[in-house]
C-alpha cells in the first residue's frame, strides 16, 4: 500500500522521499560503522593483550604452538575487519549517491528560486499597471468633474434653472433640453 501511495505522488515528491530515505539509510549505516569501529578497536586491544605473553623483548611474536582460543579470536577479528572494510566501501558509494542527491536538490532549489523571481516580476508588473490605471482613473475623474463644473457654470450664466452638481452625474435622470430647442435630447437605446 505504501508503494502504491508513493506512485500516486508527483515526481518531485517521490524524488524528495527517495532522497530522504537514502539520507536516513546513510545516517544509520554511518552510526553502525562507528559502533563497529569502536568494537574492533577494543577487540584489537584485547588480542594484543592475549598475545603479549608471546612477544619477545624486540617485539617479535614467538609462539611454538598457537593457543586455539587466541587463533579463533584472531580469525574472528580478521573476518570482522574484512566486513568493516566492505562496509566502508559501501558507505563511500552511498556517500556519492547522497552527494548526487544533494546536487539534484540544489538544482530544484535554483529552479524554484527562478520561478519565485518570475512571479515577483509578474507581481511588480501588475502593481505597476494597477498604479497606472489608478492614475488614469484619477485623471479621468478630474476631467469629468471639470466638465461638470463648466456645464454648471454655463447654466449659471444663462437664465435657466441651475442643475445641482450631483444630478449632472446621475444617469437615471433624463438630460435637460438644450437651450433654444423645444425637443428633449434623445439617446440611442442600443436597438436599431
CA 6 to CA 145: how far, in whole Å? 64
pLDDT score at 123 = 93
Residues above pLDDT 70, as percent of the chain: 77
22-61: pLDDT as tens digits: 888 888 988 999 999 999 999 999 998 888 888 888 888 8
Q: What is the pTM of this model?
A: 0.49
DSSP 95-161: HHHHHHHHHHHHHHHHHHHHHHHHHHHHHHHHHHHHHHHHHHHHHHHHHHHHHHHHHHHHHHHTTSP
64-104: pLDDT as tens digits: 887 888 889 989 999 999 999 999 998 888 888 878 877 87
Reading the block at residue 129, the C-alpha cell is 499597471
Amino acid at each position: 500500500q505504501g508503494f502504491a501511495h508513493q506512485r500516486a505522488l508527483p515526481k518531485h515528491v517521490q524524488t524528495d522521499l527517495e532522497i530522504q530515505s537514502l539520507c536516513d539509510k546513510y545516517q544509520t549505516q554511518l552510526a553502525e560503522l562507528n559502533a563497529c569501529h569502536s568494537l574492533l578497536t577494543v577487540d584489537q586491544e584485547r588480542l594484543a593483550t592475549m598475545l603479549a605473553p608471546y612477544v619477545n623483548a624486540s617485539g617479535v611474536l614467538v609462539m611454538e604452538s598457537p593457543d586455539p582460543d587466541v587463533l579463533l579470536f584472531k580469525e574472528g577479528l580478521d573476518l570482522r575487519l574484512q566486513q568493516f572494510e566492505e562496509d566502508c566501501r559501501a558507505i563511500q558509494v552511498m556517500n556519492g549517491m547522497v552527494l548526487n542527491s544533494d546536487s539534484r536538490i540544489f538544482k530544484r532549489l535554483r529552479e524554484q528560486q527562478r520561478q519565485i523571481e518570475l512571479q515577483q516580476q509578474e507581481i511588480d508588473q501588475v502593481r505597476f499597471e494597477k498604479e497606472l490605471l489608478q492614475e488614469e482613473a484619477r485623471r479621468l475623474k478630474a476631467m469629468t468633474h471639470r466638465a461638470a463644473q463648466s456645464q454648471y457654470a454655463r447654466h449659471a450664466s444663462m437664465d435657466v434653472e441651475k442643475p445641482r452638481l450631483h444630478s449632472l452625474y446621475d444617469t437615471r435622470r433624463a438630460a435637460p433640453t438644450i437651450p433654444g430647442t423645444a425637443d428633449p435630447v434623445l439617446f440611442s437605446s442600443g436597438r436599431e
